[in-house]
Chains A and B, each alone.
Chain A
Amino acid sequence: MTSSKWQFQTEQSLVESHGLKFDEFEKIVEGLGREPNLTELGIFSAMWNEHCSYKSSKFWLKKLPTSGDRVVQGPGENAGVIDIDDGDVAVFKMESHNHPSFLEPYQGAATGVGGILRDVFTMGARPVANLNALRFGEPNHPKTKHLLSGVVSGIGGYGNCIGVPTVGGEVNFHPSYNGNILVNAMTVGIAKRDKIFYSAAAGIGNPVVYVGSKTGRDGIHGATMASAEFDEDSEEKKPTVQVGDPFTEKLLLEACLELMKEEAIIAIQDMGAAGLTSSSIEMASKGNVGLEINLSKVPMRAQNMSAYELMLSESQERMLMVLDPSKETMARKIFKKWDLEFEVIGRVTDTKKLILIMNGKEEASIPINILVEDAPEYQRDYIIEEPSPIKEYLPEDFDQSEIIPNLLSMIAHPDLCSRKWIWEQYDHMVMADTVVRPGSDAAVVRVHGSNKGLAISTDCSPVYCKHNPYEGGKHAVVETWRNLVASGALPIAITDCMNFGNPEKPEIMGQFVECIRGMGDACSKLNYPVVSGNVSLYNETNGEGIYPTPAIGGVGLIKDLSNVKTISLKGEGNYLCIVGKSNNHLGNSKYMTIIQKKEDGGTPTINLDEELANGHFVLELINKQLVMSSHDVGEGGILIAVAEMCIAGNLGLNIDEDKEFSHRYFFGENQSRYLIEIKQENFEQIKQLAKSKNISFEKLGEVNQENIRINKSNIIKVSELKRNYERGISEI
């Protein structure tokens, strides 16, 4: 391998198999002043891959709003932290485990959950809720059933055992995921504001302690694998998938939280992607210090492990800490009580280098700043493609007599049907603080020992994003915001999980740039900043990229749990009303994709001023106790939202006959709308209030006992809808 400056000893194939480009290798040599040895090459490979370095995305991610009154910690730590009053904080993040889950769905999904849980309890928070955002290929694709059942049991297997409820999430199906599913896992934890733990190492001479499971040869190069595209031979990469042990994680969780009650931990970092490498380097870099690690001391599961293997293993359920030396004995006792490994493997130094020793021999010596600050960062070329044009559809474009049959087909479709088959496999009630179970707009968990709660929701519409990445990015943010509002929560902040194809393709990079721009605009307008996140690129198989999928997880605060709202209709005779304008946008709706089987007509646009005003109006009504139930109008439009409310409440609705009897009215997906159930006697008062605030508000119909009635020849029994709704996913 040669360049204009150097004649390298290192084989080109070795560099390439580490996922490093020629100019990146040059940069390493320049930084070190020599060629790296194999261990060092492995370390650079692990730190500079897309997954760990964010080299393609960093420049754009910086454009997202990340600050706000309630933001305690924005992006850059293990998880984001927001203030939820009374000295409490919520700690949360969402992360992808896409590539491993496609190779080995059970373990891939399980270790995804394990990893995100660790990110949250590393910061001193007790995890209180897990959620997920899942995308699979077409329902009838030969792999979908296997992947869906594997992922669901993996998520359940891990979360159920560790005893953190899996309270919500989303799943949808699209051919663009046939060869590359998405598994995004989110964890929310609760801590005290004055007891948050960070990763910056400090105190020259302080012990660096390894705790948790032993290190084996599993998951070596996992993060590098996750930064490459798939092809036919990807099955061969299965050995890079880690194996999860939720029982050990439960012990690690309890031991860490027990130790965190003492003033013993100076810094702590979980060993996630790129294991010991990224954890030690992040701790050193954040603390602006060096670390010297004696690898012979690392607890090993296999014999004769090399320095290279130890540094790159992604064995699960491990943590690295810097301890106050006077607390070492006490800390050791706690970990022994929980039957976990506890080993001092190194010291904090003032060299600002990562120095690795094994069997008395120096295996690596790398200045930390070369690894971190000097890591490659790219402003990749991008092309912003013209969004698909918006089309107007007329009532006579589709056969109106089909509206009720269409409703039945849509509600049974895997994208819209009940997810009960999935969430019944998740323990969603352990910890006994679940207030709103899966199946509503947002899940709600109580903050233990108080009367307040957190509402949490995950969302994204990849079809919207594909056809208009800017509006799609806005939508993903706004949809979670709306879900939180509909549940009665004050939305506070989001975490994002950016799943895209190969960023080296300008059109993919263009999708990324536009989604970020849309998200940023929505976050700014709604005062709903990004506090944590993760980027997963190269989601491609045989050169075919997934649809752009910026999955968003939103968290909101409910100050008084008696104000929680669910989607289930409450009483006969109540009015169901629509907040927000209905302007009949049918493009790229579920009606188009499910019934017309095409993506056409353009993505709906969002007026963020209206969005904000409508949301605040709904919250005001909820806080005035005027709302019986509420639901945002999302995928499938008004009629699907009505059906979901009826099914959940075992009640029906007489829809007023003045409504336009058309597909575009009943299935149109224009944005910023809610359905709210109110008492008849409050209708005039609310109408006046809406008028005074210039909010569009109208009655849709009146709640009845058993059917949805559009007019005298279009009636459907709710029990029949329910049968179709519940059949759905289990039939895949």
Chain B
Amino acid sequence: MKTHVVVFPGSNCDRDVAVAIEKIIGSLPKMVWHKDTSIDQSDLIVVPGGFSYGDYLRCGAMASTSPIMKSVIENANKGVPVLGICNGFQILIESGLLQGALMRNSSLSFICRDVIIKPTNSKSIFTNKSKISKMPIAHNEGNFFASDDQIKKMEDNEQIAFQYCNENGDINDESNPNGSIKNIAGILNQNKNVLGMMPHPERAAENIHGCEDGKTIFESILN
């Protein structure tokens, strides 16, 4: 399986996700520099977390105009699986591959801790092995918002990938870490080959992390 991880200046989860991919999928991904202009033949493109370009503007806004993004968009439109994690999710929204917006957390502060999410769509290429999972979040702007119309369309088309919940799978305010509408933690595009999610599966991918639930994302892709 050929995988690619895009590296922007300021990406900081690029190595972490590459390590997880190597462990779970079995081969090292190719790291693609943001100034490159093409990604040929990929089975998975990951846009990793971090603070691309420092995120001094709206998160992901600068990165979405980076030279490499043209190729990421072309690949996504061709049906290549594209996974955006955390800042990667923000970049995919800014580049128009995913809908909605990620606003500042309702607490107005950065949050780093474990959350529990459940797959709302458990049939997609990214979620077909998912169950109720524990994974860390680490972000300042993860408060997902979309208009009622957009949400309705996403629901009808099964584009909501994950929702924050409690250990029993109940979706409620207490289990919502950042104020996201409908507790949304991750969404898919219309064709379901692009996933953006705030939780970090690469940080719950081996024994020392204390939890290995994040592996299911990559195992689903392998499946």
Contacts and interface: CB of A to CB of B under 8 A. Distances in A.
B112 A427 contact: yes
B112 A429 contact: yes
B45 interface: no
B123 interface: no
A385 interface: no
B15 interface: yes
A569 to B, nearest CB: 16
Interface stretch (A131-139, A160-168, A574-582, A643-651): A160-168
Interface stretch (A244-252, A325-333, A341-349): A244-252
A429 B112 CA distance: 8
B51 interface: yes
B54 interface: yes
Given A245-B54, A427-B110, A432-B202, A161 B19 contact: no
Contact of A250 (B10, B202, B203, B208): B10
A427 B138 contact: yes
B111 A425 contact: yes
Contact of A161 (B54, B113, B200, B203): B54
Interface string B74-115: 000000000000000000000000000000000001111100
Contacts of B50: 163
A565 interface: no
Contact of A424 (B15, B112, B200): B112
Chain B contact patch, size range: 20 to 34
B56 A432 contact: no
B187 interface: no
B43 interface: no
B47 interface: no
Given A153-B109, A250-B9, A432 B51 contact: no
Contact of A426 (B56, B112, B203, B205): B112
Contacts of B55: 161, 247
A156 interface: yes
A263 B111 CA distance: 41
A561 interface: yes
Nearest to A339: B9
A424 B111 contact: yes
Given A160-B138, A247-B9, A430-B138, A425 B112 contact: yes
Interface string A79-103: 0000000000000000000000000
Question: Which of A247, A428, A433 has the most B CB atoms < 10 Å from its CB?
Answer: A247
B196 interface: no
A357 interface: no
A14 interface: no
A429 B19 CA distance: 14
A429 B208 contact: no
Contacts of B51: 160-161, 163, 246-247, 250
B128 to A, nearest CB: 24
A247 B53 contact: yes
A561 B208 contact: yes
Contacts of B13: 163, 430, 432
Contacts of B208: 433, 435, 446, 561
B19 A250 contact: no
A32 interface: no
A425 B16 CA distance: 20
B109 A425 contact: yes
B113 A424 contact: yes
B153 interface: no
A161 B138 contact: no
A423 B113 CA distance: 9
A393 interface: no
A289 B20 CA distance: 48
Interface string B51-65: 101111000000000
B131 interface: no
A382 interface: no
B2 interface: no
A431 interface: yes
A247 B10 contact: yes
A250 B12 contact: yes
Contact of A432 (B110, B113, B205): B205
A338 interface: yes
A429 B136 contact: yes
A246 B111 CA distance: 18
B209 interface: yes
Interface string B166-191: 00000000000000000000000000
A493 B86 CA distance: 37
A446 B207 CA distance: 12
B203 A432 contact: yes
A153 B107 CA distance: 13
Interface in B10-67: 10, 12-13, 15-16, 19-20, 49-51, 53-56
A49 to B, nearest CB: 32
B138 A429 contact: yes
Contacts of B9: 247, 250-251, 338-339
Nearest to B10: A247
Interface string B140-169: 100000000000000000000000000000
Contact of A425 (B12, B20, B110): B110
Contact of B112 (A163, A428, A435, A446): A428
Contacts of A423: 112
A160 B112 CA distance: 10
Contacts of B205: 432
Interface of B: 9-10, 12-13, 15-16, 19-20, 49-51, 53-56, 109-113, 136, 138, 140, 200, 202-203, 205, 208-209
Given A246-B54, A250-B9, A425-B109, 10 more contacts: A160-B110, A161-B12, A247-B51, A247-B55, A424-B112, A427-B110, A427-B138, A429-B138, A435-B208, A446-B208
23 contacts: A160-B138, A161-B10, A161-B55, A163-B50, A245-B54, A246-B54, A247-B51, A247-B53, A247-B54, A247-B55, A250-B51, A251-B9, A424-B111, A425-B110, A425-B111, A426-B112, A428-B112, A430-B13, A430-B49, A430-B203, A431-B15, A432-B16, A432-B205
5 smallest CB-CB distances across A and B, nearest first, come from A163-B12, A247-B54, A432-B16, A161-B51, A427-B138
